[in-house]
Structure 1
Amino acid sequence: MLESSTPPLAALDGYRNVTDLLVARAAAAPGHVAFEVEDPSTGSWRPITTRGFEDEVRALAKGFMAQGIQAGDPIAIMAPTRYEWAVADLAAWFAGAVVVPIYETSSPSQVNAIVADAGVRLAIGGTAEHTALLQEALAKTNAVTLGAWTMDAETTGTLADLVAGGVGVTDEELEARRTTATQDDPATIVYTSGTTGEPKGVVLTHRNFLGQVLNIAAAYSEIVNEDGNTVIFLPLAHVLARGLQLICLASGMRIAHLSDPSTVVATLDTLRPTFLVVVPRVLQKIQAAAAGKAADKGLAGVWAKAEATAIAWGRRAERIDAGRRIARNRGLRVRHRVFDALFYRRLRTVMGGRVGYILSGGAALDTELSLFFRGIGVPVIEGYGLTETTAPLTGNLPGRIASGSVGSPLPGLTVRISDEGEVLARGLGVFSGYRNPAHDEGAFVDGFFRTGDLGRLDEQGRLILEGRLKDVIVTSNGKTIVPTRWESAVEANPLVSHAVMVGEGKPYLSALLVLDPEQARAWAAAEGTSIPLAAPSDIRAVNDPALRAHLQRAVDAANALVARSEQVRRFSVVFADLDDRGLVTPTMKLKRNVVLDRAAVTVEDLYL
């Protein structure tokens, strides 16, 4: 199959722009709790109703207008994930502005470049430090700007000050401005994080957001509804988190924000979400933590059997979903019941005890990891999308999950596979072009956006990803290698944060295995050894025989999955600063070209 489409489930008639989603929801359920916001001083969570949120949005929008924001003006937001991000985002749209999100971890040069390229007129920072960076960037543009303001309530120039300045703006003036933008006007300019090449400004319209929000909400109504709640800890500067926020807001699903992902597990018992969106690494760490605790209690062998049982149970459940006849397996049922009492139930409790589904995106999800979580009673819905597709392009659906695939095109979207195997996209969520028209060159073919990803469609029209077009390696003997399958298999090991296959123009394949710092320290402590940390901005080989022997097994297992020509002959274990935004994108994707440049000496050593 070379093309797969899914018809839309929701019409956009009656919606002028994204702000109508909040207006409609506030009118339908003003007293429904839309957000839970943590009080830093007490740690307690206070509810905010849809009407209460709308009132805050309108008040801040008036403040923007009083400062001089005109329809179409860009407003930048640079802050960690928090409730005020949501208020500023919607308020900017109510004021007719275009939102320019900036990752809170962006360097000063990145902030300067985005502010200048987008023509930002006013900026909002999460902290005084963010605000200072934004103010400096605005000053360097030599344009007439309206200043940078902060979400931090203990300083001056705050959102509260903006609200106070807007009391003279009438409701009628705000409504006229709110309804200025049409579906085809820009809603946001999102700068891609750039794993390869320079960041590009992706212009997404109100139609893009409306199409995605309304259709995804319809497709996933079993999960996203007013009886559920979620915790958003992905960066709100990323379109996936913002899209999820709009879907939940429009559907009445309660939202809590966490700015520090490391606090998520400790908070789940309090918030007890019914749905979570994560990247695969989070699931790997949950599984690894459970394995570690079992090992500490001398139950490593028992845990290994529990893992195998969960995977078998998950595979059985998927076959049942697919309508296949399954023979009764009393032994598997008994083992599953025993291990549920020993392990699975406790894992579900760690996640709050109410999680019905987890959505995984941002990177490939290992098939057995997906089956494991399905087997413990928490199905993982894998999806796929890009900034240019306003987040999800494809996704598995409840009752139709196929591990190893990223699902079928979501409603209103079409996926086509080119003759070269590239995934092409068209439909409601797909953007029409970059801010800089020069970046559009080669980005589209026959009306389809070129994703740069390689994939294929199965007989049911589900997409199976097979790597990045730019990551393809051609060895000196002319073999063309797609490294994704091998890399993903090695990355299933908790110690490996990233696996990078190398070998362009070389006689054989090698690899760099980037250690996960937290897991590496835990492993070293358990082994009674120490591993030297790399210096900042350094990628340095770690020469520990025991560690290498341990990871050799992961390399051997990955090699067994691929053809002989795709197997890695030599590898080097390395440490890298995974908080370095020059090396890793805000969505935790490794910048391959930067890695190869910084680790050039180590790579060359693999071919001596």
Structure 2
Amino acid sequence: MRDYSLPSLVEPLRSGGLADSVYELAAREPGLPQLARREGPDGSTGPWREMTAAAFASTVLKLAKGLLTQGIGFGDRVAFMTRTRHEWTLFSFALWSLGAQVVPLYPASSPEQLRWVLGDSGACAIVVEHETDAMTVGSVVDGLPQLRHIWQLDAGCVAWLTEAGRPVEDNEVHRHRWAVVPEMTAAVIYTSGTTGRPRGCVITHRNLASECDTILAGWGRLMGEPGQQPSILAFLPVGHVYGVMVTVMCIRGGYLLGHQPSISAKELMPAIRSFRPTCLYAVPYFFEKFYAGARMMAEKAGRGVMFDRAMAVSRRYAEAAEAQALGAGPGPGAGLRARHAVYDRLVYRQLRDVLGGRTRNVVSAGSTLSRELGLKLAGAGIVVYDCYGLTETTCAITAQPPGRPRFGTVGRPMPGASVHIARDGEVWVRGPMVFPGYTGRSEGTATRHAAYPGDLRAAPAPGQGQGPEVGGAHAQDHYEETLRDGWLGTGDVGYLDDGYLVITGRKKDVIITSSGRSVSPLMLETRLRAHPLISQAFVVGDERPYVAALVTLDPEVLEQWRKGREQWGPSGPGYGNTPAEELEREVGRAVAAANSALSRAESIRSYRILPEEFSMADGLVTPSFKLRRAEITRMYAAEIEELYSE
């Protein structure tokens, strides 16, 4: 199978923009809880306090009036270098009320990255969290003449702007809002940049509306129990399209939206337990850490063996249920159901309680979740709906069908979208969520200009310095040369199996050994990470005689693993003379398990355990935890050479 598509579930956005849903919901259900925030200074501590739809709309309107007084209007781009805070949502919808555009950035952006993104996007203002961020922006501002404002959240910029907007009539904002059309740019979101400079993806109001409305129509019933208002805790970085999509989806769907700025396990997990989300949106790394942490806690309590047995039952139960849903089996047998019921009381319920107790379905995107982990979680009552997409597709372009997930795949095309497998195995996609192009100075752009509606030149822009035509200084944005008749070449390699997409790797990452054997590192790396001790894996072997790997270990799991071995002493049964020797043996078993389904020519023949994990601080992983392969290869060149000199 080389092509698969599904008919659309929703009508494309015909008029207006994303901000309309804020005011429409406030008029329709003014008392509906819309946002939940904590009372701490950055929204990360204290009890949760709810804000109604009417209060949220009023707050957005007041901030939009303040932005008007600062000259923000049609086509202006405002950057954000913040964590996932409620102010992000507030500012975004205030800007969309004015026909302005958001440019989300990662909080840890370096001065060089800032200079590039702010210059490439032409942002006229930036919102930062605190003084340190403001100083980072200040260090590059000399080369950015278009940057007019730096607003600091911790210095009270929301209250200041709200006060400044008091004299402005409400109707001035609405006149802007009523002139917004779906083809206008809503956001410029920069790719993670695993190779080369990040590219600015122009995302329209229609792109985001199509993505979110399709999810709400097709998967909305999975977000909560019937009659229950779904509640979503946003903690994904808003510098990533995934985080932006979750925010917009909640507002358009009338869901209760909470924000969690810190993603450290020490702060995130208590926030999840207290907020009690009905559905969870995360990346595979989160679920891998969640599972490893649960197993570690079970081992600490002396229940490690029971946990492993329970998860083995969970896997078999989910596999049987999956086959039944796909029409390929009768479902779990009576004996398996009985054992599953026992372990549900003893193990699975506690696992669900860690996520607040109300979560039954979760969404994973950013990279592929392993089939093994997906089955184990599903059998424990936490069904993972794996998705696939890019910044260029406004997040998901494929997703697991409701009630029919096929673990180890990334699902079928979203309704209204199409997937095509090219002759070389590259995945091509098309649909209403696919972007129109990149910003004008980004790499790989062609020369044909992106289309903007021409009837907005008369749109009002009180207090605004530049002309009100849509696009303004940004009319140089272009369609990207890989858009062929609406088809986007993703750069990923995969295949279709009964309409379900399986991603096998990145086209440019395929390893070709010196013997001519082609190997996809993604599959091997995913299999290695299935072992609780292994946090990350980096497979090498291009133009080398065989495949090898660098692995990093999870510090918390490693500490618990060592404590478990200490009780036996250095000569305990089944263990080596030193912890280091046994650790090498344990990782060796993980490598052997990863190799078990492969030929010898494709197998890992040598590996090295690194002393620390790859991190964003070192520039070795993206904010969605994808490996920056070129940077890792450069930094660990000596270690890679040793893998072959041995």
The verdict on how the C-alpha distance between 1:179 and 1:563 changes in structure 2, with shifts beyond 3 A counting, is farther
Deviation at 1:178, TM superposition (A): 1.7
The verdict on how the C-alpha distance between 1:198 and 1:14 changes in structure 2, with shifts beyond 3 A counting, is closer
Deviation at 1:224, TM superposition (A): 3.8
State whether residues 320 and 329 of structure 2, in contact with CA within 8 Å, keep that contact through their aligned partners in structure 1: no
Aligned to 2:36: 36
Q: Look up the equivalent residue of 1:275 and give its one-letter code.
A: C
Distance between the aligned counterparts of 2:443 and 2:616, measured in 1?
31
Superposed counterparts of 1:593-608, under 5 Å: 593-608=630-645
Distance between the aligned counterparts of 2:402 and 2:9, measured in 1?
16
Of the three residues 315, 323, 327, the one matched with 2:327 is: 323
The secondary structure found in structure 2 opposite 1:544 is helix
Q: Is residue 58 from structure 1 mapped to residue 38 from structure 2 by the alignment?
A: no
Deviation at 1:91, TM superposition (A): 1.0
Distance between the aligned counterparts of 1:139 and 1:56, measured in 2?
34
Q: Look up the equivalent residue of 1:454 and give its one-letter code.
A: V
Q: Look up the equivalent residue of 1:595 and give its one-letter code.
A: I
The secondary structure found in structure 1 opposite 2:292 is helix
Aligned to 2:23: 23
Distance between the aligned counterparts of 1:141 and 1:259, measured in 2?
28
Deviation at 1:330, TM superposition (A): 2.4
Deviation at 1:184, TM superposition (A): 1.1
Q: Is residue 510 from structure 1 mapped to residue 520 from structure 2 by the alignment?
A: no
Distance between the aligned counterparts of 2:546 and 2:330, measured in 1?
44
Q: Look up the equivalent residue of 1:233 and give its one-letter code.
A: F
Deviation at 1:573, TM superposition (A): 0.8
Q: Look up the equivalent residue of 1:64 and give its one-letter code.
A: L
Q: Is residue 567 from structure 1 mapped to residue 571 from structure 2 by the alignment?
A: no
Superposed counterparts of 1:512-551, under 5 Å: 512-528=550-566, 544-551=580-587
Aligned to 1:534: none
Aligned to 1:467: 505
Q: Is residue 455 from structure 1 mapped to residue 494 from structure 2 by the alignment?
A: yes
Q: Deviations over 1:11-54 (max 9, x none)?
A: 13553111122222222212100111011177111100111111
Deviation at 1:545, TM superposition (A): 2.5
Distance between the aligned counterparts of 1:584 and 1:190, measured in 2?
18
Deviation at 1:273, TM superposition (A): 1.0
Distance between the aligned counterparts of 1:189 and 1:562, measured in 2?
42
Of the three residues 499, 514, 529, the one matched with 2:537 is: 499
Q: Deviations over 1:253-287 (max 9, x none)?
A: 11111111222221233211110011112222222
Aligned to 1:335: 339
Q: Look up the equivalent residue of 1:520 and give its one-letter code.
A: L
Deviation at 1:209, TM superposition (A): 0.9
Aligned to 1:236: 238
Aligned to 2:215: 216
Distance between the aligned counterparts of 2:47 and 2:160, measured in 1?
26
Aligned to 1:538: none
Aligned to 1:171: 170
Deviation at 1:327, TM superposition (A): 6.3
Deviation at 1:444, TM superposition (A): 2.9
Distance between the aligned counterparts of 2:102 and 2:297, measured in 1?
44
The verdict on how the C-alpha distance between 1:196 and 1:544 changes in structure 2, with shifts beyond 3 A counting, is farther
Q: Look up the equivalent residue of 1:423 and give its one-letter code.
A: V
Distance between the aligned counterparts of 1:514 and 1:31, measured in 2?
50
Aligned to 2:469: none
Q: Deviations over 1:153-179 (max 9, x none)?
A: xx36x1211111112221221111123
Distance between the aligned counterparts of 2:280 and 2:134, measured in 1?
30
Q: Is residue 296 from structure 1 mapped to residue 288 from structure 2 by the alignment?
A: no
The verdict on how the C-alpha distance between 1:328 and 1:197 changes in structure 2, with shifts beyond 3 A counting, is closer
Q: Look up the equivalent residue of 2:482 and give its one-letter code.
A: A
The verdict on how the C-alpha distance between 1:255 and 1:327 changes in structure 2, with shifts beyond 3 A counting, is closer
Deviation at 1:446, TM superposition (A): 4.4
State whether residues 80 and 105 of structure 2, in contact with CA within 8 Å, keep that contact through their aligned partners in structure 1: yes
Distance between the aligned counterparts of 1:423 and 1:596, measured in 2?
26
State whether residues 514 and 573 of structure 1, in contact with CA within 8 Å, keep that contact through their aligned partners in structure 2: yes
The verdict on how the C-alpha distance between 1:584 and 1:118 changes in structure 2, with shifts beyond 3 A counting, is same
State whether residues 116 and 138 of structure 1, in contact with CA within 8 Å, keep that contact through their aligned partners in structure 2: no
The secondary structure found in structure 1 opposite 2:104 is strand
Q: Look up the equivalent residue of 2:399 and give its one-letter code.
A: G
What's the C-alpha RMSD, in Å, of the aligned pairs?
A: 1.9
State whether residues 550 and 609 of structure 2, in contact with CA within 8 Å, keep that contact through their aligned partners in structure 1: yes
TM-score norm. by structure 1 comes to 0.93
State whether residues 4 and 414 of structure 1, in contact with CA within 8 Å, keep that contact through their aligned partners in structure 2: yes
Aligned to 1:122: 125
State whether residues 192 and 623 of structure 2, in contact with CA within 8 Å, keep that contact through their aligned partners in structure 1: yes
Q: Look up the equivalent residue of 2:288 and give its one-letter code.
A: Q
Structure 1 unaligned blocks of 5 or more: 530-542
Superposed counterparts of 1:94-493, under 5 Å: 94-143=97-146, 145-152=147-154, 155=155, 158-224=157-223, 227-261=229-263, 262=265, 263-326=267-330, 329-436=333-440, 438-440=443-445, 442-459=481-498, 461-493=499-531
Distance between the aligned counterparts of 2:593 and 2:9, measured in 1?
43
Deviation at 1:2, TM superposition (A): 0.8
The secondary structure found in structure 2 opposite 1:588 is coil
Structure 2 unaligned blocks of 5 or more: 447-480, 568-578
The verdict on how the C-alpha distance between 1:19 and 1:438 changes in structure 2, with shifts beyond 3 A counting, is same
Deviation at 1:328, TM superposition (A): 6.0
State whether residues 14 and 182 of structure 2, in contact with CA within 8 Å, keep that contact through their aligned partners in structure 1: no
The verdict on how the C-alpha distance between 1:505 and 1:325 changes in structure 2, with shifts beyond 3 A counting, is closer
TM-score norm. by structure 2 comes to 0.88
The secondary structure found in structure 2 opposite 1:416 is strand
Distance between the aligned counterparts of 1:581 and 1:249, measured in 2?
35
Q: Deviations over 1:405-450 (max 9, x none)?
A: 1111112211111101111111111012111365236523443111
State whether residues 135 and 147 of structure 1, in contact with CA within 8 Å, keep that contact through their aligned partners in structure 2: no
Q: Look up the equivalent residue of 1:588 and give its one-letter code.
A: F
Q: Look up the equivalent residue of 1:287 and give its one-letter code.
A: Y
Deviating more after overlay: 5-14 vs 518-527: 518-527
State whether residues 505 and 521 of structure 2, in contact with CA within 8 Å, keep that contact through their aligned partners in structure 1: yes
State whether residues 224 and 251 of structure 1, in contact with CA within 8 Å, keep that contact through their aligned partners in structure 2: no
State whether residues 422 and 428 of structure 2, in contact with CA within 8 Å, keep that contact through their aligned partners in structure 1: yes
Distance between the aligned counterparts of 1:321 and 1:358, measured in 2?
18
Aligned to 1:7: 7
The secondary structure found in structure 2 opposite 1:277 is strand
State whether residues 496 and 516 of structure 1, in contact with CA within 8 Å, keep that contact through their aligned partners in structure 2: yes
Distance between the aligned counterparts of 1:231 and 1:103, measured in 2?
19
Deviation at 1:528, TM superposition (A): 4.5
State whether residues 8 and 411 of structure 1, in contact with CA within 8 Å, keep that contact through their aligned partners in structure 2: yes
The secondary structure found in structure 1 opposite 2:488 is strand
Q: Look up the equivalent residue of 2:54 and give its one-letter code.
A: R
The verdict on how the C-alpha distance between 1:142 and 1:421 changes in structure 2, with shifts beyond 3 A counting, is same
Distance between the aligned counterparts of 1:522 and 1:178, measured in 2?
56
Deviation at 1:479, TM superposition (A): 1.2
Q: Look up the equivalent residue of 1:245 and give its one-letter code.
A: T
Q: Look up the equivalent residue of 1:309 and give its one-letter code.
A: V
The verdict on how the C-alpha distance between 1:451 and 1:22 changes in structure 2, with shifts beyond 3 A counting, is same
Deviation at 1:397, TM superposition (A): 2.5
State whether residues 71 and 180 of structure 1, in contact with CA within 8 Å, keep that contact through their aligned partners in structure 2: no
State whether residues 115 and 138 of structure 1, in contact with CA within 8 Å, keep that contact through their aligned partners in structure 2: no
Of the three residues 538, 550, 556, the one matched with 2:592 is: 556
The verdict on how the C-alpha distance between 1:134 and 1:63 changes in structure 2, with shifts beyond 3 A counting, is farther
